[in-house]
Amino acid sequence: MSLRLGDTAPDFTAETTDGTINFHDWLGDQWGVLMSHPADFTPVCTTEIGATSKLKDEFDKRNAKAIVVSVDSVEDHKAWARDIEETQGCGLNLPLIGDTDRKVSELYDMIHPNEGDTSTVRSVFVIDPNKKIRMTLTYPKSAGRNFNEILRVIDSLQLTDNYKVTTPANWEDGDDVIVSPALSNEEAEKLFPAGWNELKPYLRMTKQPNK
């Protein structure tokens, strides 16, 4: 199944370290970050789960929460959680989905046969409160994810959903943004009374409107 931006995130029911969940019910009215990791008791994954747990407050600020899936069992996840806390200095505070039947992994196309085995690659799906997929990333098994980038994209999505702007390359929260090219100057004047810097008619830079 090939999932694209704007598609409804497939729903599922699964066992997790926090009990049985229905994915859409679990998301509620929040943003969700669904990630896969190749296997428990592996080095890169251990650092990633630790990093995600440490960012709980940052996810909370964005009305977002994370959930992780692998083809290992819930029992393995719970045993592995002790290693995560010991080595990463933060206890597990997000649900890990047990997916031994690969139902969720296959639903989200997280198993890539050319990777040489039946474990997942490092997939990321950012899902909005309407259950729409808004961002996807796929990392190779050898490279740990950049979680600052995941938070940055959520910031951009939440900003551009509410204001007639887009965000430029390497944008971070608080930086200048781009006035939507769909707006005429007359329309833009009403929305951005402080003005903008017109580099080209299609490239008008302005202060971030919610700062």
Residues tagged active-site? 45
Report DSSP letters for the chain, one per residue. ----TTSBPPP-EEEETTEEEEHHHHHTTSEEEEEE-S-SS-HHHHHHHHHHHHTHHHHHHTTEEEEEEESS-HHHHHHHHHHHHHHHSS---S-EEE-TT-HHHHHTT---GGGSSSS--EEEEEE-TTSBEEEEEEE-TTS---HHHHHHHHHHHHHHHHSSEE--TT--TTS-EEEPTTS-HHHHHHH-TT--EEEETTEEEE--TT-
